[in-house]
Amino acid sequence: MGDLLEIISSRKSIRRFTTKPVPEAMIYKVLEAARWAPTGENYQPWRFIVVRNQETRNKIGDLAKVGSGSRMTAWYCLGHMQERFMKIEDPVKRAEVLRFMYSGEVSEFAKTAPVVIAIMGSLKVGSVDVPYDLSAAIENMLLEAHSLGLGGCWVHGPVASSRDAKKFKQILNVPTGMNEYKVIAYIAIGWALEARKHPRPKLPLHELVYWEEYGKTSQRKLTLEEIVSWEQFGEEGK
C-alpha cells in the first residue's frame, strides 16, 4: 500500500480549470470516496448534488462572487485586506490581487469548473456530527480527485450567510427550511489549468503540537501575529 501522506501533502486548492470534461467514472470515484468517510454512529447524513449544467453553475458562481465580494469590499474599506496582503511587495501586483479579492472574482470559479458538487447534511438523519461528517466527506473527495489527477477546491463562501445559504438551496431546489438540510459547502473539480505548485507553506509540527497537556512544549511558540504573517517568512523553517 502506498503512503497516503504523499497524496495528502501534494494536494492544493485549484480554482482554474480547462474545459475538458471530467469522465463520469471519475465523478463516481470521488463520490465513492465521500461515502467511506467517518460518520458518527454511522448516520451518513451527507447528500450530494452533482451539477454540470452551465446555467446552474453560473448562478452558483454569481452567488459566490456576491458573498465573498460583499465581505471583502467591506474589509478593504476598513483597511483589513491591505494589511493582510502587505506581503506582496510589488504595489501593482498587490493592487491587482486586492481587486481580484474584493470584486468577488476570487470565488466565481464555479462558472468555469466542469463539475460542482454541493454537499449538504440531513438534519433529520444526522446528529451533532453533521458538519464534521460532511467535512470528512469533503476531504475524502478532494483527496480522491487529486489522486485521479484532477484539481479541486472546497468553497464555503456562498453558503456562509443565512440568506445566501437559502439562495443556494433555492438554486438547487433543496428544501429551504432550517430544520431539514444544512448546506455546508460545494467543491469544484476539473482538470487544472494552472501548473501544480507545491502547496502553500504550512506551520511546522512543533508549532501545532503539545505533548500530554496544553502548553507543554520545548520550543518557543510563534505569536499570533507571527502565525498570521507566516507566509512572509523566508524559506527557512517552512
Partner 1 sequence: MDKIAYYNDLLARHEELLFHELSDCCGWKTEFIGIDFIQSRAIQGSSRDEIIEACMREIAAAGLVKEIAYAVAGQDVLLRLKVKGCMHLGKEIRLRERGIKVYNCIIVNMIHDQLIEKLGYETAYTAEIDVHEEEGWCEIKSAIFENMDKIGCVSDWAEECRRIDDENSWISVQA
- The footprint of partner 1 (CB under 8 A) covers 62, 65-67, 69-71, 73-79, 99, 102-104, 160-164
- Shortest distance (Å) from residue 164 CB to partner 1: 8
In the complex, the smallest distance separating the C-beta of residue 98 from partner 1, rounded to whole angstroms, is 9
* CA angle at 180 for the pair 176 and 186, rounded to the nearest 5°: 70
Closer Cβ to partner 1, 44 or 103, answer by number = 103
Distance CA 135, CA 38 (A): 10
Which C-beta is closer to partner 1: that of 98 or that of 148?
98
Would you give the distance in Å from CA 130 to the centre of its chain? 17
- Which C-beta is closer to partner 1: that of 77 or that of 227? 77
Provide, rounded to whole angstroms, the least separation between the CB of residue 226 and partner 1.
19
What cell does 104 get?
468577488
- Cβ–Cβ under 8 Å, residues 141 and 33: yes
**Of the candidates 146, 148, 176, 158, the residue with the CA atom closest to the CA atom of residue 110:** 158
Q: Min. distance of Cβ 105 from partner 1 in angstroms? A: 8
Nearest residue (CB) to partner 1, 103 versus 229: 103
| 108 or 144: CB nearest partner 1 | 108
What are the cell numbers at 194?
Answer: 494552472
**Torsion angle in degrees (nearest 10) through CA of 172, 130, 136, 26:** -30
Tell me whether residue 44 or residue 161 sits nearer to partner 1 (CB atom): 161
Write phi, then psi, for 184 (nearest 5 degrees).
-100, -25
Closest distance of CB 18 from partner 1, Å = 27
**Choice between 144 and 164, CB closer to partner 1:** 164
Q: What is the DSSP letter of 202?
A: -
Q: In whole angstroms, how close is the CB of 13 to partner 1 at the nearest point? A: 18
Interaxial angle between packed helices 162-171 and 54-77, expressed in degrees from 0 to 180 and rounded to the nearest 10:
170
Closest contact distance (angstroms) between CB of 100 and partner 1 is 10
Distance, CA of 209 to CA of 212 (rounded, Å): 10
- Angle (nearest 5°) at CA 171 between 169 and 176: 25
